[in-house]
Amino acid sequence: MKILEGKTAIITGATRGIGKGIALLFAQHGANVAFTYSSSVEAATQLENDLQQLGVKAKGYQSDAADFEQAQKFVDDVLEYFGNIDVLINNAGITKDNLLMRMGEEDFDKVIEVNLKSVFNMTKAVQRTMLKNRKGSIINMSSVVGVKGNAGQANYAASKAGVIGFSKSVALELGSRNIRCNVIAPGFIETEMTAKLGEEVIKGWTDAIPLKRGGTPEDVANACVFLASDMSAYITGQVINVDGGMLT
């Protein structure tokens, strides 16, 4: 059963990792997909083709969600091409890890801008359409690091904790209009980025996880499908940890 049939979803940062997994699973469940990418035109074109082959409308946009004006233009372009927006997934994010004593101001500001300001920009941009429709689902990607912190990631933890506070406030503000806002906090998810860590580092991570494995992009995507669908119609303002029990 295609539980997202007829819905149009925006996914930021979708050409690799978790974002790509979400885009593909959404298309498999019948959702039309508009996605952003920063630089890889080739990867974006490939993803666009892969999604279209699943029988849905799909289009990639080179756009920086951390830029307020670009975010607004992107949403306007999506509305012109797709006609509507039902789901927003704020997935774009970066890391610039370092101990606080070595962390420069620029590295702090950039992570906050890309990981947190982008969520504000995109939510502002889709709000008018969702208010008019009197429905919508906003899903913001945080991290277990935003819940518990992590040494060497003060900037990243601050940005991801900020996403949680922002989302809970939006859920309270927009709930009366049937617009839901929830957070997913992934744990250790095996992607192209984590593959560079090496086998021993990955084993150290997975040994500490109750389910004894890293997560996959599809594990996160499954939670997104649920929160985007009408199956979660009475869920808002919540943080769902997709972490194999890491924070238990």
Hey, which residues are catalytic here? 156
Q: Is 16 annotated as a binding residue?
A: yes
Q: Is 215 annotated as a binding residue?
A: no
Start-to-end C-alpha separation, the chain:
32
Q: Is 159 annotated as a binding residue?
A: yes
Q: Is 59 annotated as a binding residue?
A: no
Q: Is 158 annotated as a binding residue?
A: yes
Which of 137, 175, 161 lies closest to 22, judged by CA?
Answer: 137
Q: Is 160 annotated as a binding residue?
A: yes
Take residue 79 and report the two structure tokens written for it: 């509305």
Q: Is 151 annotated as a binding residue?
A: no
Phi, then psi, of 226 in degrees rounded to 5: -60, -50
Q: Is 156 annotated as a binding residue?
A: yes
- What is the β-pairing status of strands 87-90 and 58-62? unpaired
Q: What is the strand order of the sheet 32-37 is part of?
A: 58-62, 32-37, 8-11, 87-90, 136-141, 179-186, 239-242
CB distance 47 to 60 below 8 Å:
yes
Q: Is 13 annotated as a binding residue?
A: yes
44 burial level (CB within 10 Å; 0-12, 13-18, 19+): buried
Helix (H, G, I), strand (E, B) or coil at 226: helix
Phi, then psi, of 50 in degrees rounded to 5: -60, -40
CB distance 179 to 136 below 8 Å:
yes
- Bind-site residues for NADP(+): 13-16, 91, 156-160, 189
Which residues line the annotated binding site? 13-16, 91, 156-160, 189
